[in-house]
Amino acid sequence: MGIPDDFAIIGHRGAMGHAPENTLASFRKAIDMGATMLELDVHLTKDGELVVIHDHELARTTTGSGLVEDMTLTEVRSFDAGITMGANYQGERVPTLQEVMELIDAQTALNIEIKAGRQIYPGIVSRLLEVISHYGLGDRVVISSFHRAYLREVVQKAPKIEVALLYAEALPQVLDEAIQERWQGLHPWYRIIDRDLIDGARRRGLSVRAWTVNQLPEMVSLVKLGVNGICTNFPDMLKSVVTELGLR
């Protein structure tokens, strides 16, 4: 199995092994460490803004508490999102998606995961596509989600943007489902990736990107298996694997 030419070093929430997840500091560090794609999560505030944060509740990653969907952008950004990793990052805020798009360079792609709050966010897909269009990044974005309804809406409204299903358990019919649903990618948990999945995806023209891989041996095995990308908290470690194997 050959290694794909488009293999992506994907910084999981930036470089969250080194900096506070889903902050501009984390995304900068991931780019500096050689990430060719940034993975991030988006939620929708009460006033319709896309903010980059993993949980729908603020308590784990900020000094605040409460649900993102119940707060305005100003309220969400009033809390410190950097203090969880020490004083060096104090003052980092929950970024907007626009801020991340303005940060990235011409070589960096985005893997945007659409999250849900109490339920699926009405209007989040339309707002996301509006922002992507404004920055002209449609050819450098992959939209992923565990929620199929979001992916179907993207396919309907913006069929040229790549979409990928996130999933954590083996789905025997996932390759056929991807073709039927017109998804271009699959993002499985790395432990359920095997040769049959990679071979089947290749035959169907689907990309397979693994999440979340933080150990060197697993990185090497997956690269050799032929995945199209690996999402990791340590893009510097994955960069070293890619260099060692002669991919970059």
| Predicted confidence (pLDDT) at residue 4 exceeds the cutoff of 90 | no
38 and 27 Cβ atoms separated by less than 8 Å: yes
What does DSSP assign to residue 88? G
The DSSP bridge partners found for residue 232 are: 11
SS3 call for 4: coil
- DSSP 8-state secondary structure symbol assigned to residue 71: S
> How many percent of the chain have pLDDT more than 90?
92
Please report which confidence band the pLDDT of residue 64 belongs to, taking 50, 70 and 90 as the band edges: very high
Tokens encoding 45: 């505030």
Predicted confidence (pLDDT) per residue in 192-226, tens digit: 999 999 999 999 999 999 999 999 999 999 999 99
Residues 183-197, mean pLDDT to the nearest whole number: 98
Torsion of CA 184, 54, 39, 121, to 10 degrees: 40
pLDDT confidence band for 58 (50 / 70 / 90): very high
Beta strands 37-44 and 8-12 are: parallel
pLDDT in tens, 139-151: 999 999 999 999 9
Can 18 be counted among the known catalytic residues? Answer: no
Is it the case that residue 2 has pLDDT exceeding 70?
no
Which of 12, 18, 56, 187 is labelled catalytic? 12
Pairing outcome for strands 37-44 and 50-52: antiparallel
What would the two tokens of residue 120 be?
């699926």
Nearest Cα to 42, choosing from 97, 93, 80, 81?
Answer: 97
Q: Which of 18, 54, 56, 187 is catalytic?
A: 54
Summarised one tens digit per residue, pLDDT across range 81-135 is 998 898 999 999 999 999 999 999 888 999 999 999 999 999 999 999 999 999 9
Question: 248: pLDDT confidence band, cut at 50, 70 and 90?
Answer: low
Q: Are 130 and 138 in contact (CB under 8 A)?
A: no
